[in-house]
Amino acid sequence: MYHHFMAALAFIATMAFAGQAAALTTPYTETFSDGISGWSTGPNGTISTPLQVIGTGGADGGAYLSTVATPVASTMGAVSILFRCESAACSDGGFQGDWRGGDLVLSWYFRHDADVALEAYARIAAPSNNPGASAQISTVVLPNTWTRIDLVIDPSNPAFISYSGQSFDNVFDEVGRIQLGLSIPGGFTGSNIKFDLDSVSITAVPEPETYALFAAGLALLSIAGRRQRR
């Protein structure tokens, strides 16, 4: 009986992950364990230290990207782009493709040593860099603290403040570039600030029914455990 319950649980887990995979076009995570992986920095700001990989101490305990820069406002407003993935060679092209399938989230870990809290900024664009979607994420990143940033890829997400005068579909039908940075607060005068990036990923947002499947699986496992102990 126990083996039957375990088989049922395995089936439920498989179905749950299969449901996610069907909605996901570009699942990928960049941990920088293999180096810079084609990422670059600038030009929005004065770069004091070129982009480099630090081998340990990242959000996951491993490698991460780091640079020292003096942020300046870009042509897109009071934002500064610090990390760029802008070629097919970047992260082996793992972030390129059609992101319109829904239920996707772009995530990354951000850290800085400014003396004020900052908010993250992202721009996701076509291979030619236009059109692009700009997003200001309200997650507060305190100094010297690895903070996870999640950007749900959905036209109803209020974090998206611009689509370069075009539509959500026109931007996300062929993603080719990711540009990550910060929103510069009013009166900000920081210079030579250390900025770190780790674990950039594009994954599926679990559907409510996925959680229900896992809950059912856990219930089956609990029942099986109780029956085995009798």
Radius of gyration, alpha carbons of the chain? 20
When pLDDT is cut at 50, 70 and 90, the band that residue 21 belongs to is very low
Inside any domain, residue 16: no
Name the least confident of 22-26, 45-49, 82-86, 140-144: 22-26
Inside any domain, residue 14: no
Say which CATH number the domain at 201 has: 2.60.120.260
Inside any domain, residue 10: no
When pLDDT is cut at 50, 70 and 90, the band that residue 85 belongs to is very high
> Is residue 226 pLDDT above 70, yes or no?
no
Inside any domain, residue 147: yes
> Is residue 4 pLDDT above 60, yes or no?
no
How many CA within 13 A on the CB side of residue 143?
7
Q: Where are the alpha helices (DSSP H) in the chain?
A: 2-23, 168-172, 208-229
Inside any domain, residue 222: no
- Give the closest residue to 40 by CA, choosing from 50, 28, 54: 50
CA 90, CA 34: separation in Å to the nearest integer? 12
Inside any domain, residue 216: no
By residue range, what is the domain housing residue 102? 26-206
The per-residue pLDDT of the chain, averaged, comes to 81
The total number of structural domains that make up the chain: 1
> Is residue 151 pLDDT above 50, yes or no?
yes
Inside any domain, residue 126: yes
Q: Is the dihedral of CA 128, 93, 69, 150 positive or negative?
A: positive
Q: Which two tokens stand for residue 49?
A: 């230290």
Inside any domain, residue 193: yes
Name the least confident of 17-21, 59-63, 81-85: 17-21
> Is residue 208 pLDDT above 70, yes or no?
no
> Is residue 42 pLDDT above 70, yes or no?
yes
pLDDT in tens, 91-140: 999 999 999 876 899 999 999 999 999 999 999 999 999 999 999 999 99
